[in-house]
Amino acid sequence: MSRTNLYGSFVQALFFSGTVGIPKYFLNHYSELEISHIEALLIIQIMGEIETNPNPPAQLLAQRMNLEVIQVEEMITHLMSRNYLSLKKSWNHEDHQSTTGYSFVGLIEELAERWAIDEFKHFEAEQNQRKELNKQPDSTCSTTIGQIITTFEQELGRPLTPIECEVIDTWITSNFSEELILAAFKRGVMAGIRNFRYIDSILREWEKKGLRTLHEVEADDVNFQSRQEKSRTKKTSPQQPDRKVPSDKYENFYL
């Protein structure tokens, strides 16, 4: 048999010899259960046999692990004393007789309890972290509000009242940018209406139109001025007398 054929035959035999599914959580935490490395290997050996041989003899396990039989028996006794391994009777429906085999129910329950504790600790740590983050003020938001309040107070020549500060905070939480708030305030100043309700009406109108940036607002102003010019140059019919077009599209919002 050639070397290539030998390798191919080995791979085929290796594949069909079967595999043993070992939970990764067990591999990561068995030492925390005071299971030694050699005991963990014994558990894996039993897992590999349990499907076809529910109660593999200590002699077979000792041979595979290159140990003395008494060493294997002592480890089995120790694992049973910790309830990680037990003998369980079951009924074989094919042979119509009861069989006794190894069971890892105790080990699984111990791992499940440890997993639940770890998950709870992880969840608790996340909750505490979120609480700490919620306690910390948003520095960006605080800076923005502070800058807006400073601009308002400088223009108005007086400190803002707590209610006025709350209104500004409401604008910020409504996702109005600093530039839009200041632009609305500037329009109020230019119109001679330094009233927060007037500023709010401008912002809400922009929001209704879907205007979220100063560039979009300026483009809307250009369209408004264009429509205004067309209205002025249009001839007025006798049936429809010329009506005044407001120079400021926000002047009817609040007086």
Please say if the pLDDT value at position 145 is more than 50. Answer: yes
Residue 18 banded pLDDT, cuts 50, 70, 90: confident
User: Are 121 and 67 members of one domain?
Assistant: yes
Mean pLDDT taken over the chain:
83
Mean local confidence (pLDDT), 138-154? 77
Residue range 204-220: mean pLDDT, rounded: 90
Same domain, 144 and 85: no
- Mark whether 75 and 113 lie in a shared domain: yes
Residues 26 and 125 in one domain: yes
Nearest to 145 by CA among 167, 166, 169: 169
The alpha carbon of 247 is separated from its chain's Cα centroid by a whole number of angstroms, namely 51
For residue 84, give its domain range. 18-131
Q: Is residue 240 part of a domain?
A: no
Nearest-CA neighbor of 84 among 62, 103, 56, 58? Answer: 103
Number of folded domains that form the chain: 2
Residues 29 and 116 in one domain: yes
Work out the average pLDDT over 108-121: 92
Give residue 80's identity as a one-letter amino acid code.
M
Per-residue pLDDT, averaged over 110-129, amounts to 88
3 lies in a domain? no
Give the pLDDT mean for 57-63.
95
Q: Do 110 and 198 share a domain, yes or no?
A: no
Q: Are residues 121 and 25 in the same domain?
A: yes
123 and 147 share one domain: no
Q: Average the pLDDT over 103-131 and give the result.
A: 89
Assign residue 165 the CATH number of its domain.
Answer: 1.10.10.630
85 close to 104: Cβ distance less than 8 angstroms: yes
User: What pLDDT shows up at residue 16?
Assistant: 67
Q: Does any domain span residue 250?
A: no
Q: How far is CA 71 from CA 13, 117, 156, 242, in A?
A: 31, 33, 90, 109
pLDDT the model gives residue 60: 95
More confident residue, 254 or 12: 12
Query: Within this chain, do residues 102 and 172 fall inside the same structural domain, yes or no?
Result: no
What is the rounded distance in angstroms from the CA atom of residue 244 to the CA atom of residue 246? 6
Whether 76 and 112 share a structural domain: yes
Q: Are residues 155 and 112 in the same domain?
A: no
Listed residue (40, 20, 46) closest to 111, CA to CA: 40
Domain edge (last residue) among 115, 131, 147: 131
Does residue 13 have a pLDDT over 80?
no
